Amino acid sequence: MVELRLLEQLTAFYTYGTLSEAAEKLHTSQPTLTRSMKQLEDELGVPLFVRTKNHLALNRTGIKAAEYARQVLLAGQDFEAKVRSYDRSLHTISIGFCAPIPQTVLTPIINHVFSGMTISADMGEDSLFEDHLKQGIYQLAVLHYKPEDPLFYSQKCGSEHLYISLTSGNPLSFYPEIHLKDLDGLPILLLSQIGFWSKIHREKTPNSRYLVQIEDDSFRELAVNSDYPIFSTDYFIRRGQTMPGRVNIPIADPECQAEYYLVCLASERKRFQPLFNQITEHTIQ
Amino acid sequence: MVELRLLEQLTAFYTYGTLSEAAEKLHTSQPTLTRSMKQLEDELGVPLFVRTKNHLALNRTGIKAAEYARQVLLAGQDFEAKVRSYDRSLHTISIGFCAPIPQTVLTPIINHVFSGMTISADMGEDSLFEDHLKQGIYQLAVLHYKPEDPLFYSQKCGSEHLYISLTSGNPLSFYPEIHLKDLDGLPILLLSQIGFWSKIHREKTPNSRYLVQIEDDSFRELAVNSDYPIFSTDYFIRRGQTMPGRVNIPIADPECQAEYYLVCLASERKRFQPLFNQITEHTIQ
DNA sequence: CTACTTTACGGTATGCGTAAGCATT
DNA sequence: AATGCTTACGCATACCGTAAAGTAG
């Protein structure tokens, strides 16, 4: 059976035209390629080249061979990729989170239940998560709604309530509760990776200018030293993680009272049962 | 890039279950396989086996790998086959003959015009020859009719007239000509490789018992030493190659007056023009 | 005790790079 | 002169087979 090394060298010669250039690209020497090409002809028992004194060219069979060889090389690369990917899939759990707090709370629990596994977490707006679960891109997801498709198994794992955090002088700070539309038009300081919350903001306060901070430090810095409204949630308030000199007003819109569901494929329920057993509907709170 | 040798050994281990047996089947030693499997794991950077003290087994990744490996090996085998086949196609002209005389007459001419080429000749009933030409299985064919499909280029290359050869005492031997139906029911001595003539016999003299001889020598022996009718043609008669003590009566059926056409794909006409130039409509006669 | 894997060892062969030769442009 | 292929030569290493050790059934 012809070895892939020879096929690599053949395709290199095909693409670069001369043994010299091919050798350079392959980080080897010209004589090596001379020998390899000869060996290839020997093994196939078929002439692949037309040789003149100082020139080597593929004949018609050689051209075909080089083209076929690419197929084989692709198969070889595909093999390696598939094996590595399969191994990886056995050792990693990929999770989609629709918001940061579920990730903060659940990641350590998952790491504990599936110790030894690599946890790969994505965060984003969760409209695509169901598809990604079906396609096996994710094995788990946390959604902010209960999925209806019977293909999934889901369990409520907590809730989160959005607040707006205002400096004491702000006229809105005296209300017992606020609606998002009351904030529309105000400049608001925001973090970038906040999952589905982004979408709610875009829809309910489309006229606000968002000062989006990628770095948590920058956000904190600006929050402390400015009067821009920022969002917070009951999760932080319950833990006393509030900003000095600000008051937190609950937002009354129903979308701002999120309920989180941990979801997997029904067919994988058994595998993840130990995790579901560790989780109650108040785990995230 | 992983080498095919390792993949062959992996699949052998997969199919035979132990390194020992795989080694035996591959005509190599067990330690060789031990090393190879280790190397494979190293190169992929992924564990493929579960090792106990005196037992080696594929893990889940290993099983997948062995299955994928087969794909790669098939690609490799396919590569070799295709290259060899392509080279062969450049050096051989495959021809379908509908009868033996065209082969006898044309083969030396083709050999002369395309000297250096290998001539591969098939003989058979010619109903499939058009398809074979289209599929490239044949580059040339001799049919006993002119093909209508404009995909083909054809040229008449001769004719042949069927005779029946009877011993002098046979009552039919006094007729000036005979129809095939007159022979139906008679036992007839026949050669096996006679192309489209077989079909005519089967259709026109279905009740005859055919004494089919595979060997030309046997046929000749029986023809000389028996009174069974045999077929001959004007080709033999014109050359005086007749059986002693027999008379040759022409067969009047129109099917028994064959006209031969040399055919190639119209797209290949240029390639075969030197051959067509050597051929007239009386070449076979 | 048998069957199997692994490790160790030594020989061989395979592959490589350098250097040199030669032909063409 | 520069470029490109081939051959020759010597070296490194990669691969292999035999032998031996160890373990489980």
Chain A neighbors of B41, CB-CB under 8 A: none
Strand D contact at CB of residue A58, distance < 7 A = no
> B72, A72: Cβ pair inside 8 Å?
yes
> A46, B87: Cβ pair inside 8 Å?
yes
Structure tokens at B100: 């033996």
Q: Using the predicted structure, report yes or no on whether residue B169 has a pLDDT greater than 90.
A: no
> B2, A44: Cβ pair inside 8 Å?
no
| Dihedral of the alpha carbons of B71, B76, B78, B82, in degrees to the nearest 10 | 160
Q: Using the predicted structure, report yes or no on whether residue B265 has a pLDDT greater than 90.
A: yes
Q: Using the predicted structure, report yes or no on whether residue B243 has a pLDDT greater than 90.
A: no
pLDDT, position A173: 83
Q: Using the predicted structure, report yes or no on whether residue B160 has a pLDDT greater than 90.
A: yes
- Rounded CA gap, A155 and A263, in Å? 7
Could you tell me if B217 lies within 8 Å of chain A, comparing CB atoms?
A: no
Q: Name the 3-class secondary structure at B187.
A: coil
Which domains are assigned to chain A?
4-87 (1.10.10.10), 89-147+261-276 (3.40.190.10), 159-257 (3.40.190.10)
- Rounded CA gap, A29 and A47, in Å? 22
Instruction: Report the pLDDT averaged over residues A141-159.
Output: 96
Q: Using the predicted structure, report yes or no on whether residue B280 has a pLDDT greater than 90.
A: yes
What residues contact residue A180 under an 8 Å CB cut-off, 6+ apart? A200, A201, A204, A205, A251, A253, A256
Could you tell me if A69 lies within 8 Å of chain B, comparing CB atoms?
A: yes
- Rounded CA gap, B201 and B210, in Å? 9
Please state, for a pLDDT cut of 90, what percent of chain A lies above it.
Answer: 76
pLDDT, position B276: 96
Strand D contact at CB of residue A40, distance < 7 A = no
The pLDDT tens digits of the residues spanning B192-235 come to: 999 999 999 888 899 988 899 998 888 888 888 888 999 999 99
The pLDDT tens digits of the residues spanning B64-82 come to: 999 999 999 999 999 999 9
Rounded distance in angstroms from the CA atom of residue B37 to the C1' atom of nucleotide C3: 20
Buried b / exposed e across A23-32, counting CB within 10 Å, b at 16+? beebeeeeee
Strand C contact at CB of residue B30, distance < 7 A = yes
Could you tell me if A71 lies within 8 Å of chain B, comparing CB atoms?
A: yes
Strand D contact at CB of residue A37, distance < 7 A = yes
- Those nucleotides of strand D lying less than 7 Å from any protein Cβ are 3-8, 15-20, 22-24
pLDDT, position B132: 96
- Rounded CA gap, B225 and A43, in Å? 54
Strand D contact at CB of residue B31, distance < 7 A = yes
Q: Using the predicted structure, report yes or no on whether residue A174 has a pLDDT greater than 90.
A: no
- Those nucleotides of strand C lying less than 7 Å from any protein Cβ are 3-8, 15-19, 22-24
Give the DSSP letter string of A61-86: HHHHHHHHHHHHHHHHHHHHHHHHHH
pLDDT, position B254: 94
pLDDT, position B58: 92
- Rounded CA gap, B86 and B64, in Å? 33
> B90, A61: Cβ pair inside 8 Å?
yes
Could you tell me if A44 lies within 8 Å of chain B, comparing CB atoms?
A: yes
Could you tell me if B84 lies within 8 Å of chain A, comparing CB atoms?
A: yes
> A83, B47: Cβ pair inside 8 Å?
no
**CA of A88: which chain B residue's CA is closest?**
B46
The pLDDT tens digits of the residues spanning A57-105 come to: 999 999 999 999 999 999 999 999 999 999 999 999 999 999 999 999 9
CA A118 to chain B, closest CA, distance in angstroms equals 15
Could you tell me if B214 lies within 8 Å of chain A, comparing CB atoms?
A: no
The pLDDT tens digits of the residues spanning A6-29 come to: 999 999 999 999 999 999 889 988
Q: Which amino acid is at A106?
A: L
Structure tokens at A23: 């050798």
Per the CB < 8 A criterion, the answer to whether B143 and B154 are in contact is yes
> A80, B7: Cβ pair inside 8 Å?
no
Instruction: Report the pLDDT averaged over residues A177-181.
Output: 91
Q: Is the pLDDT higher at B111 or at B53?
A: B111
Strand-pair category, A140-143 with A92-97: parallel
pLDDT, position A224: 87
**Average pLDDT for chain A:** 93
**Average pLDDT for chain B:** 93
The pLDDT tens digits of the residues spanning B15-63 come to: 999 999 999 989 988 999 998 999 999 899 999 999 988 899 999 999 9
Q: Distance between alpha carbon B244 and the CA centroid of its chain, in Å?
A: 35
Which of B60, B75, B77 shows the shortest C-beta gap to A71?
B75
The pLDDT tens digits of the residues spanning B128-138 come to: 999 999 999 99
The pLDDT tens digits of the residues spanning A91-140 come to: 999 999 999 999 999 999 999 999 989 999 999 999 999 999 999 999 99
- Give the DSSP letter of residue B99: S
The pLDDT tens digits of the residues spanning A197-207 come to: 999 988 888 99
Please state, for a pLDDT cut of 70, what percent of chain B lies above it.
Answer: 100
Chain B neighbors of A27, CB-CB under 8 A: none
Q: Using the predicted structure, report yes or no on whether residue A172 has a pLDDT greater than 90.
A: no
Strand C contact at CB of residue A54, distance < 7 A = yes
The pLDDT tens digits of the residues spanning A214-267 come to: 988 888 888 888 889 999 999 999 999 988 889 999 999 999 999 999 999 999
pLDDT, position B148: 94
Q: Name the 3-class secondary structure at A93.
A: strand
Chain B neighbors of A50, CB-CB under 8 A: none
Cβ contacts from A onto B, under 8 A: 104
> B4, A8: Cβ pair inside 8 Å?
no
pLDDT, position A69: 96
pLDDT, position A243: 87
